[in-house]
Amino acid sequence: MGTIQRIWRHPILDFKRGRSVRFQFEGKRIEGYENESIAVALFASGVKVFGRSRRFNHPMGWFCGIGKCSSCLMRVNGIPNVRTCITPVREGMRVELQGRKGVLPDEPNIKVKKKEEYVRVLIIGSGPAGLETGITSTKLGLDTLIIDENPIPGGQLIKQTHKFFGSKKEYAGLRGFEIAKTMLEGLRKCGGRYLTETSAIGYYWKNKKHKFLAVQKQEDGYQLLEIKADNIVVTSGASENYLPFPRNYLPGVYGAGGVQTLMNVYGVKPGNKALIVGAGNVGLIIGYQLLQAGVEVKALIEAMPHVGGYLVHASKLARLGVPILLRHTIKEAKGEEYVNGATIIEVDENKQPIEGTERKLDVDLILIAVGLSASTKILSQAGCEKMFVQELGGWIPIHNENMETTIDGIYVAGDGSGIAEASTAMLEGRIAGAAIAEREGYNPEDARRIREDAFSELSKLRQSSSLKIVAEGKRKCQQRWNEVKSHEK
Amino acid sequence: MKNEPREIGYLTYDVLKEKIGLPSKERLAKGPVAIIECTEDIPCDPCVEACKLGAISKESLITPPTIDYEKCTGCTLCVDVCPGLAIFVINVNYKEEKALVSIPYEMLPVPERREKVDTLDRSGKKIGEGEIIKVRRGKRETFVVSVAVDKNLATEARSIKIQKEENE
């Protein structure tokens, strides 16, 4: 299965690893680096099986790598259900596979402190949409707090090594991780606050105010935060879609986004020979990033008869010799404990496999890049109505053009409001931040101008052929919002 | 349609000629010139700003760029700025039998001057060997690598591959 290597030289990135730390996994001593996640430290030292399936006892690995899918849950210092992919490793930690159920310890030795907060605007998620909401609302004079469950702020920008399209206002030409840095600097400059490793765990309505409970991980325990807020903006992003095929449970089958985190944030090579499923922008971009990390890309397959992403991204891969096989799908993964091959097969116009066209690929890595779904659970809990919009990637919270959901004072922006991309996520965040300021009477004139500028920029971007579909989805969404609101009256 | 770019994953010379228009023989004979291999309506404009001579323009943010080949001097400043790595500079006048192709490059190892490399076409197929003439560290870690290739390959060579050391 080959040795997993840390990446020491990379054409774009310079990995700054912390001190080395020692911890225990299943009683064995393992070394990792400060500031990396438990899952990454385990993976880098060759641990790939993160658990076994309940019914068939199949070996399973991590999948999403960004704290959403729950396939990396382990017991850490006796506490079950810890998402190891977003929990930093610390000296002396005791990490164990948790078996089929997360059993609570008899005498939990957990310190929990409690703290209350009150802010004008609470933002959940620090990706491009969340940061832009934070910058805009703080600049307009609102007291704002951003919380994010990840240890590093910046959402999925931090793992993007390619230069972004767009116009100058949305940081065109900078690489994704540089955009995150620039935005965080902007937030700091205007005095905006953010907390990392802080998960929103529940929504309540108390004394006519929105209230969130959040848990913040701390060095020696946890802090329970009770955050009251006049306005909430949920910018919780999206999660990678899964794909059904035989043995898809095997370690070695990963979400493309998770591999980006492993490789580009933490500098660990995910494998040696990869197959990518999906020729949208995510699949095309990760193909190029794998090559930059020294991973061989055996093929990129796509069931559609054409590439879904931009031609310039596909061209970058094609001219480096990566076969882009259209009208192909994965038939099965091979391996017992870990992927050691894959069978691909051609499909016809109806996407049905054509027997006899099977081909075996010698790969140890299968990346799934077949689309994203908006993460909207916390909004459901708050009672925001949802609808299914094909153009926006599935179920999304119903919202209007100001990004307000069906509940007063609760807003949404970015991929969590419908799958699109980073520039438009920023613009939506700016709109939400400005709309709140306008309504609350904080520099309402400036706020209105900012909001209107963002509207016109957004509609310009959405005239491009790749985003037209988003414009259509958003139109349906607005229409539905109007219907819901007229019913309320 | 055969060679429909989205059905193969890359552009071909014929499609480029039809979609963006390539420099005339006379212009090519005058020396280096940029070819912008960007045909889709991507909302993006750093190339326009990168050109100090005003040779690159866009009707709007979402239309593909157009280039005035007469204004372009082939300086390569747009090559490392294009987020899509879609701009190349070709100089068919480099030497009697050789043309010089400048390519954006973001892989390791970075080739060295005088190094022999394989040259690949848009589909990644090896079409010849070339010699690295110049390596410039461009903006944000994108290198611009200029490789001398046989003259007839100037419009096809779009990528390089480092040759493995023989003693490995």
- Specify whether the CB–CB gap between A415 and A425 falls below 8 A: yes
In a domain, B168, yes or no: no
Residue A147 has pLDDT above 60, yes or no: yes
**B47 vs A171: CA distance, rounded Å:** 14
Cross-chain residue pair B62–A463, CB shorter than 8 Å: yes
Q: Residue B53: helix, strand or coil by DSSP?
A: coil
Q: Is residue B129 part of a domain?
A: yes
Task: Note whether A315 contacts B83, CB cutoff 8 Å.
Answer: no
Closest CA–CA distance from residue A467 to any residue of chain B (Å): 10
- The pLDDT value recorded for residue A107 is 76
Question: What are the C-alpha distances in Å from A148 to residues A139, A153, A226?
Answer: 20, 7, 15
pLDDT at A109 exceeding the cut of 90: no
**Beta carbons of A395 and A373 less than 8 angstroms apart:** yes
pLDDT of residue A168: 79
pLDDT band at A4 (very low <50, low <70, confident <90, very high): low
Confidence of residue A1 (pLDDT cuts 50, 70, 90): very low
| Among B6, B81, B159, beta carbon nearest to A311 | B6
**A128: cis peptide before it, omega within 30°?**
no
Which residue segment(s) compose the domain that B93 sits in? Answer: 5-162
* CB proximity list for A382: less than 8 A, separation 6 or greater: A203, A210, A232, A407, A410
φ/ψ (deg, to 5) at A444? -60, -30
Determine the residue of chain B that is closest to A173 in CA distance. Answer: B83
User: Looking at beta carbons, which residues of chain A come within 8 Å of B44?
Assistant: 165-167, 172
C-alpha torsion A431→A434→A437→A438, nearest 10: -90
Given CB atoms, is A424 within the 8 Å cutoff of chain B?
Answer: no
Out of B4, B84, B107, the one facing A11 most closely (by C-beta) is B107
Residue B59 half-sphere exposure toward CB, CA atoms < 13 A? 7
Residues of chain A with C-beta less than 8 angstroms from the C-beta of B121: 319
* Nearest chain A Cα distance for residue B159, angstroms: 6
Confidence of residue A406 (pLDDT cuts 50, 70, 90): very high
Q: Enumerate the residues of chain A whose CB falls inside 8 A of the CB of residue B62.
A: 460-461, 463-464
In this prediction, the answer to ipTM > 0.90 reads yes
Q: Structural domain tally of chain B?
A: 1
Q: What is the full DSSP assignment across A48-110?
A: ---EE-TTT--EE---SSSSSS-TTEEEETTEEEEEGGGSB--TT-EEE--TTS-PPPSS---
Q: How far apart are CA A21 and CA A35, in angstroms?
A: 10
% of chain B with per-residue pLDDT over 90: 95
Judged against a pLDDT cut of 60, whether residue A3 lies above it is answered with no
- List of domains in chain A: 20-109 (3.10.20.440), 113-238+373-488 (3.50.50.60), 253-372 (3.50.50.60)
| Packing angle, helices A176-189 and A128-139, rounded to 10 | 20
> And the tokens for A84?
């190891």
**Cross-chain residue pair A319–B81, CB shorter than 8 Å:** no
Query: Alpha carbon of A27 to those of A57, A77, A255: distances in Å?
Result: 22, 12, 29
The partner residue sitting opposite A321, judged by closest CB among B60, B124, B142, is B124
Q: Note whether B7 contacts A305, CB cutoff 8 Å.
A: yes
Candidates A473, A471, A455; CA nearest to A463 is A471
For residue A162, the tally of other CB atoms under 10 A from its CB is 20
Picking from A364, A371, A369, the residue whose alpha carbon sits closest to that of residue A295 is A364
Element (H, E) at A449: helix A444-461
Residues 6+ apart with CB under 8 A from B109: B162
Q: Name the average pLDDT for chain A.
A: 95
Q: Return the sign of the alpha-carbon dihedral for residues A399, A405, A408, A412.
A: negative
Max Cα-Cα span within chain A: 67
Answer whether A390 touches B (CB < 8 Å): no
Contact residues of B toward A, CB < 8 A:
4-11, 37-46, 49, 60-62, 81, 83-86, 106-108, 110, 120-125, 139-142, 158-159, 161
pLDDT, position A64: 96
Which of B106, B110, B140, B155 is best to mutate for the A interface (most A CBs within 10 A)? B106
Q: By the CB < 8 Å criterion, does A166 face chain B?
A: yes
- Contact residues, chain B, for A319 at CB < 8 Å: 10, 120-124, 158-159
At A284-340, the pLDDT tens digits run: 999 999 999 999 999 999 999 999 999 999 999 999 999 999 999 999 999 999 999
Q: Chain B neighbours among A 238-257 (CB < 8 Å)? A: none
The residue of chain A with its CA nearest to that of B81 is A173
Whether residue A167 and residue B43 make contact (CB cut-off 8 A), yes or no, is yes
Instruction: Determine the Cα–Cα distance for residues A150 and A166; give it in Å rounded to an integer.
Output: 26
The shares of helix, strand and coil residues in chain B, as percent rounded to the nearest 5, are: 15, 30, 55
Confidence of residue A382 (pLDDT cuts 50, 70, 90): very high
Which helix or strand (DSSP H or E) is residue A132 part of?
helix A128-139
As given in the structure block, the two tokens for residue A136 are 């805009």
Q: Do A465 and B40 touch (CB under 8 A)?
A: yes
Number of A/B CB contacts below 8 angstroms equals 133
Low-confidence winner among A160-174, A236-250, A376-390, B109-123 (lowest mean pLDDT): A160-174
Using CA atoms in the order B110, B116, B118, B122, what is the torsion angle rounded to 10 degrees?
A: 60
* Residue B30 Cα, gap to closest chain A Cα (Å): 28
**A387 CB-near residues (< 8 Å, 6+ apart):** A395, A396, A398, A476, A477, A480
CA distance A390 to A385: 16
CB B74 within 8 A of CB B89: yes
Percent of chain A surpassing pLDDT 90: 92
Distance between CA atoms of residues A243 and A250, nearest Å: 13
Number of Cβ atoms within 10 Å of the Cβ of A14: 8
Distance CA A226, CA A465 (A): 44
Residue B167 lies in a domain: no
CB of A165 within 8 Å of a chain B CB? The answer is yes
* Distance (Å, whole) CA A330 – CA A61: 19
Q: Model confidence over B56-100: pLDDT tens digits?
A: 999 999 999 999 999 999 999 999 999 999 999 999 999 999 999
- Give chain A positions within 8 Å (CB) of B40: 310-312, 465-466
Q: Edge to edge, what strands does the sheet with A94-96 contain?
A: A28-33, A20-25, A94-96, A73-76, A79-83
- Å from A179 to nearest chain B CA? 12
Q: Does residue B43 fall inside a structural domain? A: yes
For residue range B148-162, list pLDDT tens digits in order.
999 999 999 999 999
The alpha carbon of residue A133 and the mean position of all alpha carbons in its chain are separated, in whole angstroms, by: 18
Q: Please give the Cα distance from A87 to A57 (Å, whole number).
A: 26
Does B102 map to a domain?
yes
Nearest to A277 by CA among A244, A303, A305: A303
Q: How many CB atoms lie within 10 A of CB A109?
A: 9
| A184 and chain B in contact, CB less than 8 A | no
Q: Which of A10, A163, A164 to mutate to test the interface with B (most CBs of B within 10 A)?
A: A163
Contact A280, A371 (CB under 8 A): yes
CA distance A158 to A15: 12
Give A-chain residues touching B19 at CB under 8 angstroms: none
A468/B contact by beta carbon, under 8 A: no
Q: Is A16 on the interface with B (CB under 8 A)?
A: no
Q: Do A310 and B45 touch (CB under 8 A)?
A: no
Report d(CA A381, CA A397) in Å as an integer: 11
Contact between A212 and A232 under an 8 Å Cβ cutoff? The reply is yes
- Give residue A489's pLDDT band: very low, low, confident or very high (50, 70, 90): confident
Q: Determine contact, residues A412/A233, Cβ cutoff 8 Å.
A: yes
Question: Residue A2: is its pLDDT beyond 70?
Answer: no
Indicate whether B57 belongs to any domain: yes
Judge: A318–B9 Cβ closer than 8 Å, yes or no: yes
| φ, ψ for residue A378, nearest 5 deg | -65, -30
How far is B129 from B150, CA to CA, in rounded Å?
Answer: 8
3-state helix, strand, coil in chain A (%, to 5): 30, 30, 40
Is A448 at the interface with chain B, CB within 8 A?
A: no
Cβ separation of A162 and B46 shorter than 8 Å? no
Residues 276-295 in A contacting B (C-alpha not used; CB under 8 Å): 279, 291-292, 294
